[in-house]
């Protein structure tokens, strides 16, 4: 794993379920070249993990602050964690 690999664990709240947030997040992650995953939570939030170059991970987190067209993001909580070496990006 390259030494410049970083990891961001994010929780997104607002109108983020039922608006294709997970699919759009996966598309954006692929576009940016970051690994990780995204899933809906029972409380209505979306949880995601992004791993990759710092600038790409930062761009993925910034994208989550907007989300797809139909989303209305209220808040994004970000925790930086040690990278685990995830390969690919999945929707859970």
What does the pLDDT look like over 57-77, one tens digit per residue?
999 999 999 999 999 999 999
- Residue 39: active-site member: no
- Residue 40: active-site member: yes
1 pLDDT more than 70? no
Residues 34/87, Cβ–Cβ less than 8 Å: no
Q: Could you say which of 7, 22, 45, 65 is catalytic?
A: 22
Residues 64/90, Cβ–Cβ less than 8 Å: no
Question: Which pLDDT tens digit goes with each residue over 9-57?
Answer: 999 999 999 999 999 999 999 999 999 999 999 999 999 999 999 999 9
Residues 19/66, Cβ–Cβ less than 8 Å: no
Domain that holds residue 46: 5-91
Total-model pTM:
0.94
Counting the structural domains of the chain, the total is: 1
Residues 16/46, Cβ–Cβ less than 8 Å: yes
CATH code (residue 47)? 3.30.70.100
- Among 49, 69, 45, smallest CA distance to 57 is for 49
83 pLDDT more than 80? yes
Phi then psi dihedrals of residue 54, to 5 deg:
-55, -45
CA distances from 51 to 29, 44, 55, 70 (A): 9, 23, 11, 26
């Amino acid at each position: 794993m390259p030494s410049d690999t970083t990891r961001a664990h994010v929780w997104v709240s607002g109108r983020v379920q039922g608006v294709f947030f997970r699919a759009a997040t996966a598309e954006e992650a692929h576009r940016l070249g970051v690994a990780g995953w995204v899933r809906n939570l029972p409380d209505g939030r979306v949880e995601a993990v992004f791993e990759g170059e710092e600038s790409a991970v930062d761009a993925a987190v910034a994208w989550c602050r907007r989300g797809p067209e139909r989303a209305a993001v209220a808040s994004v909580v970000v925790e930086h964690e040690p990278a685990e070496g995830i390969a690919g990006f999945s929707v859970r």
